[in-house]
Every structure is written in structure tokens, then in C-alpha cells.
């Protein structure tokens, strides 16, 4: 099933998007776990978390740590943590100026297979790049989003599915400091050239949350279109990250409260 067919199957099921701004990696990781559990239990609907991280390196569950080129001493000096997580894929850098998106989607409700889900993520990254005048697209056999006929990588994909619900997701380089990718063999591919929307446009801005927010809004719209889903929530530039986080926590608390109430009435 391609993402057009999947979109038809999932039409009408709203996706709520949340812009959280600059967020620590472990905080966002914990939030994902709580959202996945609530979604799998049917306590909340599908969600899309949009943010940028402080500098961090993440290793997929089976990734080779030799692709981390920086020494532990260098990482410590730069206050960059190395974390092994449960997604697929190899080592990835996250940091300021990069959009990270975490879709919490119950695949069966949208008649989605993992391949069509990944294609929807790639399509949304491609569309986001196009909005900013950058030609990019998927590369056969290599998940993500690529420029220069597949010679420069601008976006990475790494997902995990538990109890039928997706988490982790994508990283799209907007105005990221590309020299930080020298710390790793990006995606486990020695010599891989990383690029960004700014670089492809011939710009050289310092990493800025505002630039990431603009890309986040376009990605959310593109992802919803790829799935044929209505999009809810507050997007940049109007979204307030603090208020969005408070509302998201309230949503989780309400779901937990309803589960406890059901358990009490059944006892």
C-alpha cells in the first residue's frame, strides 16, 4: 500500500501537532514512551511532536559505536551525551537548528504498513525542503531525504514500533551547524556528506529555533497531507512551546485519569 492509499484509509482521523521548541533529549524520550503507552491503550489519538534538541548523539539499538569518531573526552568537553536508544538505524546527531519530529501513530487505525509510513515521512521532508526552495527527495535503498541526486543527506529517518504505535521519527537539517556532523559517520556511512536547507540555499545563519519552527509547521502540514489526515494543534509562529507542553501533559493526565476511573468502577 502506498501513502496515497494509506491516506484514503486513514482519512478523517485527526493528528494533533505540538511545537515544543528546544527540548532536552532524555525529556523528549520519556515523553514519547508515555505517549506511546497512552496511544496503544486508546486513551489519546495520534500525535506529532515537533522540536529541536540540545546537541546529542544517539545510537540505534544495533548500531556500531565505532561510527562515533569523537573521543569520550571530546564529547564530554562539548557537553554532548551519547545515548543508545531503541530505534533502528545507525548513529545520528541532533542539535540546534535541526527539526526533529516524533509521530505517535497507531498504524492499524490508518491501514498503514511501516514502509508506507516511512514513505510518508520522506514525502513530508521533501515537501518541506521544496517550500524553502531546496530540491530534495528519497534515495532508493537508503531511507531519509537527499540532495544532489542522492549525494548529500539532508534528513534522516529512524523509527520504532511498539504495540502497533510508532515513535522516534525524523531529523531534518534546517540551519544546523554542519561541522558537528564531523563527530560521527552519519547514519553509519563513512564519508557521507551532510547538508542543510540553509547550505543548499547558500545561506550561513547561526542555528535558530525560529528557523526550525518555520520548517516544523511545513513538515506537519506535509505529513498530514501524506496520510490524508486533518491536522490539529498549534503550529509556529503562533504556538507557545510552554503552553503546548502544558496542554500535552494535561492530555496525558486526563487519559490516565479515565483509565483509573474505569478500573475503579470495575472493581
C-alpha dist (Å) from residue 139 to 123, 152, 195, 196: 12, 10, 15, 16
Three-state SS at 214: helix
d(CA 211, CA 194): 18
d(CA 18, CA 102): 10
Of the candidates 54, 114, 43, the one whose C-alpha atom is nearest the C-alpha of residue 78 is 54
Candidates 129, 145, 147, 187; catalytic one: 187
> Is 129 one of the annotated active-site residues of the chain?
no
Handedness of CA 173, 64, 184, 200 (dihedral sign): negative
In DSSP notation, 86-147 reads SSSSS-EEE-TTEEEEEEE-BGGGGT--HHHHHHHHHHHHHHHHHHTT---EEETTEEEEEE
Three-state SS at 255: helix
Active site amino acids: 187
Amino acid at each position: 500500500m502506498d501513502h496515497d492509499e494509506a491516506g484514503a484509509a486513514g482519512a478523517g482521523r485527526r493528528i494533533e501537532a505540538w511545537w515544543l521548541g528546544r527540548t532536552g533529549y532524555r525529556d523528549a524520550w520519556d515523553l514519547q514512551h508515555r505517549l506511546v503507552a497512552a496511544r496503544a491503550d486508546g486513551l489519546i489519538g495520534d500525535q506529532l511532536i515537533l522540536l529541536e534538541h540540545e546537541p546529542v548523539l544517539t545510537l540505534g539499538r544495533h548500531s556500531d559505536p565505532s561510527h562515533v569518531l569523537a573521543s569520550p573526552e571530546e564529547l564530554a568537553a562539548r557537553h554532548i551525551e551519547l545515548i543508545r536508544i531503541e530505534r533502528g538505524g545507525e548513529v545520528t546527531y541532533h542539535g540546534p537548528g535541526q527539526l526533529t519530529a516524533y509521530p505517535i501513530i497507531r498504524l492499524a487505525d490508518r491501514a498503514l504498513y511501516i514502509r508506507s509510513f516511512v514513505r510518508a515521512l520522506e514525502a513530508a521532508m521533501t515537501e518541506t525542503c521544496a517550500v524553502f526552495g531546496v530540491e530534495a527527495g528519497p534515495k532508493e535503498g537508503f531511507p531519509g531525504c537527499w540532495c544532489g541526486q542522492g549525494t548529500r543527506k539532508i534528513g534522516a529517518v529512524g523509527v520504532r514500533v511498539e504495540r502497533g504505535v510508532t515513535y522516534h521519527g525524523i531529523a531534518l537539517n534546517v540551519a544546523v551547524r554542519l561541522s558537528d556532523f564531523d563527530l560521527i559517520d552519519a547514519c553509519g556511512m563513512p564519508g557521507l556528506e551532510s547538508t542543510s536547507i540553509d547550505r543548499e540555499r547558500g545561506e550561513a545563519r547561526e542555528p535558530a529555533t525560529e528557523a526550525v519552527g518555520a520548517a516544523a509547521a511545513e513538515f506537519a502540514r506535509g505529513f498530514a497531507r501524506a496520510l490524508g489526515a486533518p491536522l490539529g494543534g498549534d503550529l509556529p509562529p503562533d504556538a507557545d512551546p510552554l503552553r503546548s507542553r502544558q496542554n500535552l501533559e494535561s492530555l496525558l493526565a486526563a487519559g490516565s485519569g479515565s483509565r483509573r476511573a474505569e478500573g475503579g468502577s470495575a472493581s
